Amino acid sequence: MSDSITPPSTIDVKTPHSESPPKFALLELSHISKYFGNVTALEDISTHVDAGAVTCVLGDNGAGKSTFIKILSGVHQQSTGDYLIDGTPVHFSSPRDARLAGIATVFQDLAMSPLLSVWRNFFMGSEAMVGPFLKANFMRNTAKSEMKKMGIDVRDIDQPVGTMSGGERQSVAIARAVYFGARVLILDEPTAALGVRQSGVVLKYVRAAADRGLGVIFITHNPHHAYPVGDRFMLLNRGHSLGDFAKSEITRDELTRLMAGGAELEALQHELSQSR
C-alpha cells in the first residue's frame, strides 16, 4: 500500500479543545473613542491583553491613560468603539460591574488604610467572618501565604500597611487582586512615585501576576519600566495612538524613541500655540 499520498483526513487528531490557542483575547478594545463635551480624550484606540500576558499603555501627561483605564474599569463608558471580554461585547455601567466581571483596578492612591495591618488591608471589604467575628487567624495566615506565593516575604503581617514602602504596598494590592480571583489586573502608574530599586520590586510582581495567568494592563510613562515586563505596547499621545505593538515588533530603543518623539511633538505643539 502506497503511503505517498495522504488524502485530507476527516479525522483531525491535532485539534482537541484544550490544545488549540484561545480564539479571542481575554480583553479587547476596538476603535475606542471618548469625548467629554467637545474635548477628545481618546480617538480610535485599539489594543488587547491575553491571559498570562502584560499589555503596557504608555503616554505622557494628558495622553488619555487615566481615561482609558476608567473605561476598562467601568468608571466611564466609551463614546464609540467596542469593549470585549472573551470576544463578547460588554457594557459596564459601574466599577462594580467591572469587578464582577473579574477586572481588578489598582489606582495610584491604592485606597488603603495606612493604620490598619497588612492582613486587614488585604481582606478590606471582603473580610472572612464567623457570625459577627473576624476569622483573624485565617486571614493572617492566608494573607501571608498568598503574598508568599507571589514571592513577597512580609516580615510582619500585623504591621500597619502605612509603614511599608510604596513598592510593598503595591505588592499587597496585586496579591489581593490575584487571591480574590481577578482575571484582569489594571495598574495605574504603579512605579511613577518610586525609586529605581522599588520600581524593580513592583515590576517583578507585575510579571508574577501575569505568570499566575492574569491578563495585566500596566500603565506607565517610562519605556524602561515597560519593556522588560511587557508583551505588548500601546502608545498614546494626546488621545491618539502612536501604535500597538507586540514585543517582537518593536525594540526597546524604538519604543523609547517613539515616547520621546511624542514628548517632542507635545513641546512643539505648545510652542506653536504660544507663538500664535
Ligand X SMILES: Nc1ncnc2c1ncn2[C@@H]1O[C@H](COP(=O)(O)OP(=O)(O)O)[C@@H](O)[C@H]1O
Where along the sequence are the contacts to ligand X (CB under 6 A)?
36, 39, 41, 59, 61-67
Q: Nearest approach, Cβ of 191 to Mg ion (angstroms)? A: 14
Strands 27-36 and 80-85: antiparallel
The neighbouring-strand residues paired with 45 are 32
Cell of 140: 493572617
Query: What backbone phi and psi angles, to 5 degrees, belong to 108?
Result: -60, -35
Query: What backbone phi and psi angles, to 5 degrees, belong to 201?
Result: -60, -45
| Binding range to Mg ion, per CB under 5 A, among 57-65, 83-91, 97-105, 109-117 | 57-65
Which residues neighbour 199 within 8 Å (Cβ) at sequence distance 6 or greater? 167, 191, 225
Q: Nearest approach, Cβ of 65 to Mg ion (angstroms)? A: 5
Q: Nearest approach, Cβ of 176 to Mg ion (angstroms)? A: 22
Of the candidates 25, 72, 15, which has an alpha carbon nearest to the alpha carbon of residue 45? 72
| Residue 191 found at the interface with Mg ion (CB under 5 A) | no
Under rule CB under 5 A, which residues in 31-50 are in contact with Mg ion? none
Residue number, 15 or 93, with CB nearest to ligand X:
93
Q: Nearest approach, Cβ of 58 to Mg ion (angstroms)? A: 12
Under rule CB under 5 A, which residues in 64-83 are in contact with Mg ion? 65-66
Cell numbers 485565617: residue: 138
Of the candidates 266, 188, 196, 246, which has an alpha carbon nearest to the alpha carbon of residue 224? 196
Residue number, 63 or 152, with CB nearest to ligand X:
63
Residue number, 53 or 63, with CB nearest to ligand X:
63
Give 117's DSSP letter: B
Give 249's DSSP letter: G
Q: Nearest approach, Cβ of 90 to ligand X (angstroms)? A: 21
Residue number, 41 or 103, with CB nearest to Mg ion:
41
The neighbouring-strand residues paired with 240 are 43, 237
Cα 275 from Cα 150, distance rounded (Å): 53
Residue number, 65 or 140, with CB nearest to Mg ion:
65
Under rule CB under 5 A, which residues in 215-244 are in contact with Mg ion? none
Site residue total, Mg ion (CB under 5 A): 2
- The binder of 248, among ligand X, Mg ion, none, by C-beta within 5 to 8 A per type, is none
**Region for residue 220 given its phi and psi (left: phi exceeds 0; alpha: psi -120 to 50; beta: otherwise):** beta
Residue number, 142 or 222, with CB nearest to ligand X:
222
- The binder of 41, among Mg ion, ligand X, none, by C-beta within 5 to 8 A per type, is ligand X
Judged by the rule CB under 5 A, the positions of this chain that interact with Mg ion are: 65-66
